Structure 1
């Protein structure tokens, strides 16, 4: 027992859950939290916008597999993080947000106290995994914080928040910090009969395919073993890329997967919503609860609700690594994969790579980045022309957690602050953020954060003076009536230098290579502007929504 404030008690419990880094901005209701951070000597990164605090926590989590943590004031502060929170929900990132509340006697009264929301917890619960309120601080703080971290990590990971009233957080009382209980993933117990049925389906399949999502990121070894047993190509759309390296004979980028899709007789979805084959390759505007055509479908997912949202022929609810290991054991000596399959996969990969080369100049720049970025380096795209070119395989991915996307939310502006969080989590690895000029300006102020906290992120800004994809859509679908899509941009080199970061400008892939090598070697905040004529970039969308193979 020790006498401390409620805010200090929250931080003690956060530390007990293994946290050593917090992204946050202090304010009146949460001063005791930050006093606790100071007393615990935690690594505190203070961004220039609350939204960035949550994005940084998300990048930290997604790149490391650990839980990211941020702290902001209630009301407008926590609402400023909403875009990042729904993005973390979409890409399954374990994030815990710490915030305050109005004084106890004002809760639910609508009196108009500082930062008061009508129902802050209810608002948050509508977009995230859960939101917790600590009412009786001495009795509940440690228990609630532990439960919040467990909730963020367990099952399908996602963001949660913890709030405490202003007066409660400042009050001194006696607290006990309880050690968190490490529980097994709370999925259903594995269904042995379903596993045996799945193994039999796999053994009969002649041209199976595996598609991974973020639920397979921790299961690379077992997924690779299963793929090798079946001679099955392994692909992913965004979060699941790199589970099997795309330079491995069985690692297949998205366009190559489309080449193999029409002959596939069994699809094995592992920790994935399977957006690519059933939405991107089908009718993106029509919801179907189950496949109406195509191969047999087995889904492996920790979230039982996924089996109702999109119904497979056979659903296996459980941790993907555990399920894949059991399947590998069941399949030993019972599979006889087609030896010609490797040649078919290699042919599809070669054809796809040749086809996407017409997405220029993006592919030429991405080739330089891939050549320069170490195999374990981390690439964070944006919703941009360069970003869409990575969706189709323009940047091969070699390992899990080295390609961090916004998931189905498609959140413009997420990339730069998310990459900062990834670099904080991985200080000794190269991290590159590649943005368009539009998306970068959502969080350009965080260049100051990078400089102040010595975050050695390399940021590439492709400046086409527009929201490039919007402009193309208006050109093709609205008679070139450009409305809100053409932008005036600053001098990005001078902007970087004004913050104290190194700034460079290039106009060709050949110019990019030596500059990028220099920036990685410096390991300090650097910005590289790629000058691109407005409207000059080729579209990647024919490869993102292909109705037929090439």
Structure 2
């Protein structure tokens, strides 16, 4: 077919299962926007959602990719557009999100000459390559379909992570003979961009459009020797313990994790990024608060999909005589400074399934009663659970607000958790009943990511409740996306806890710098009136009970809404999260 580069791009995105593209229009993207409009008018499946800032658009794409099972795509102009998108790309890199950042570039003949063209960067491709798993550049229309196919494959293969594709404006406008890649057709190696070094073999296979079904991508077969050794250690352990990180959610390995835990009668400690990997109501499920109580008692620890480090970058403490086995898709997370007796580079779901399969024949041959004595007693686990609950419930008023959120949000609803005083406690105190329904920015700690990310979650999951928890500081970073929510009718309820301060900064200045306050006090708007000025319904709730009522009411109504919760300075939750708690790890 004779197509423009922009038409080739849109046509291939359709074939890759893309259904939404988030972006901000700009002159270098004119031909892409026209191609999207023409395709939509002809009945095409892709809806373009115009955000009010590239950072908002990219956050939407990242959270969409993390929760929907479809490719999350943001479309940005070169230069400032790319730079504005990078916080979300970095968040996706931290959280293993298979997002695609599509960036236009200045015309090819002018690239690299330093002529000061509109939106020119010295090395745009280098900026993107530094924060993505793979980055490609198309220099002809004919190469675009193969590069799009490869970008999507790379984003999902191995450890899911963001990828980028740069297409100069003249390539988007040019017309040429183009063959779109067919479903199932392998990308042409000569047409792919150069992937960044992965440090190991490629993963085989490609995830289905709906990442929530079917087997996850995996390296060939896990190394059988290491797998057998880990299985033997677990089989012989008197007190095995499973430690789950965010990689379990990224590979959708929750069911496999539960099956192995039940086979071993082993408790599962979930890091702060793994909430819901095992439903909170399950008898073997524990938050990261339980780690200092359980890890010292375990004689075998299987760590799956976690970096397994403290916030200080040191190894998480375990019993000196415990055998520690690490399973991770990233080889960088299998070595020092961690202590590891056994290490297996593998996909979390496949490794967990294979480990359980290795244990079942042994159980069949040797009755359960033949296992070593001791084990975890129900009373012992119940006492640890009660200890964690007491710790969480002692932090007020945060606990009452966390409980209000849980009471009002349906079990399968999403809570997008921002960096705010209530959100910090929610990271260990909010019971998560379905995997992937509690979102954080991971170790990147991206302030302001919450509200636009929640919009992306809702676009990808239109039939489920989505609530965004924010502080007044973080919400103001992307509050312009209220306009996007109103324009497209995106039914997210934003809860804004307003203390007119960067609370953490102010507390540190009070506690460590003798109350020399600078830059931490804020002048925040009246958020109810602000939302209403965008045409977004809003109310104020000044108690946890009123928050429950307001949330329940808003979640039954279509379209976006906002609830402002005025609060005073709250007690610090950090002694609970960091005060000698090895379980509060980065994952």
What's the TM-score once normalised by structure 1's chain length? 0.94
Confirm whether residue 274 of structure 1 aligns to residue 301 of structure 2: no
CA contact (8 A) 2:141 2:174 kept: no
Query: For residues 455 and 166 of structure 2, what CA distance do their matches in structure 1 show?
Result: 26
Query: For residues 290 and 430 of structure 1, what CA distance do their matches in structure 2 show?
Result: 38
Which residue pairs with 1:100 in the alignment?
104
Which residue pairs with 1:56 in the alignment?
60
Query: For residues 4 and 537 of structure 2, what CA distance do their matches in structure 1 show?
Result: 43
The 3 A distance-change label for structure 1 pair 150 and 530 is same
**1:428 alignment partner, SS class:** coil
CA contact (8 A) 1:231 1:342 kept: no
CA contact (8 A) 1:64 1:401 kept: no
- Select 2:226's aligned residue among 174, 186, 194: 194
Confirm whether residue 541 of structure 1 aligns to residue 574 of structure 2: yes
CA shift at 1:303, angstroms? 2.1
Confirm whether residue 165 of structure 1 aligns to residue 168 of structure 2: yes
1:327-406 correspondence runs (5 A): 327-332=355-360, 333=363, 336=371, 338=374, 340-391=376-427, 393-406=428-441
- Select 1:413's aligned residue among 445, 448, 468: 448
Confirm whether residue 236 of structure 1 aligns to residue 270 of structure 2: yes
1:116-265 correspondence runs (5 A): 116-138=120-142, 140-181=143-184, 183-184=204-205, 185=217, 187=219, 189-217=221-249, 218-265=252-299
Which residue pairs with 1:430 in the alignment?
465
Tell me how large the CA RMSD over aligned residues is: 2.0
Which ranges of structure 2 fall in alignment gaps of 5 or more residues? 41-45, 187-203, 206-216
- Select 1:79's aligned residue among 63, 83, 96: 83
CA contact (8 A) 2:61 2:456 kept: yes
- Select 1:458's aligned residue among 485, 493, 496: 493
The 3 A distance-change label for structure 1 pair 186 and 325 is closer
CA shift at 1:372, angstroms? 1.2
CA contact (8 A) 1:289 1:308 kept: no
Runs of 4+ in structure 1 deviating by more than 4 angstroms, as ranges, are 286-294, 337-340
Which residue pairs with 2:39 in the alignment?
40
CA shift at 1:339, angstroms? 5.8
Confirm whether residue 111 of structure 1 aligns to residue 115 of structure 2: yes
Query: For residues 581 and 100 of structure 2, what CA distance do their matches in structure 1 show?
Result: 42
- Select 1:297's aligned residue among 302, 314, 324: 324
More deviation, 143-152/262-271: 262-271
Query: For residues 498 and 62 of structure 1, what CA distance do their matches in structure 2 show?
Result: 31
Query: For residues 458 and 307 of structure 2, what CA distance do their matches in structure 1 show?
Result: 28
CA contact (8 A) 1:208 1:230 kept: yes
More deviation, 264-273/42-51: 264-273
The 3 A distance-change label for structure 1 pair 86 and 291 is farther
What's the TM-score once normalised by structure 2's chain length? 0.88
Query: For residues 30 and 290 of structure 1, what CA distance do their matches in structure 2 show?
Result: 51
CA contact (8 A) 2:238 2:375 kept: no
CA contact (8 A) 2:296 2:319 kept: no
The 3 A distance-change label for structure 1 pair 523 and 267 is farther
CA contact (8 A) 1:262 1:294 kept: no
1:25-36 correspondence runs (5 A): 25-36=24-35
CA shift at 1:65, angstroms? 3.1
Residue by residue over 1:100-125, the C-alpha shift from the partner in whole angstroms, topping out at 9 and shown as x without a partner, is: 11111111111111111111101111
Which residue pairs with 2:213 in the alignment?
none
CA shift at 1:292, angstroms? 10
Which residue pairs with 1:445 in the alignment?
480
How many equivalent residue pairs?
538
1:452-531 correspondence runs (5 A): 452-531=487-566
The 3 A distance-change label for structure 1 pair 289 and 387 is closer
The 3 A distance-change label for structure 1 pair 354 and 229 is same
**2:539 alignment partner, SS class:** strand
Query: For residues 180 and 127 of structure 1, what CA distance do their matches in structure 2 show?
Result: 28
The 3 A distance-change label for structure 1 pair 324 and 374 is same
Query: For residues 457 and 109 of structure 2, what CA distance do their matches in structure 1 show?
Result: 40
Residue by residue over 1:447-494, the C-alpha shift from the partner in whole angstroms, topping out at 9 and shown as x without a partner, is: 011010000001000000101111111111111111111111100000
Query: For residues 563 and 546 of structure 2, what CA distance do their matches in structure 1 show?
Result: 11
Query: For residues 236 and 446 of structure 1, what CA distance do their matches in structure 2 show?
Result: 32
CA contact (8 A) 1:471 1:486 kept: yes
The 3 A distance-change label for structure 1 pair 406 and 325 is same
Query: For residues 523 and 343 of structure 2, what CA distance do their matches in structure 1 show?
Result: 51
The 3 A distance-change label for structure 1 pair 105 and 434 is same
The 3 A distance-change label for structure 1 pair 5 and 489 is same
CA shift at 1:312, angstroms? 2.1
Which ranges of structure 1 fall in alignment gaps of 5 or more residues? none
CA shift at 1:68, angstroms? 0.7
**1:48 alignment partner, SS class:** coil
Query: For residues 497 and 223 of structure 2, what CA distance do their matches in structure 1 show?
Result: 50
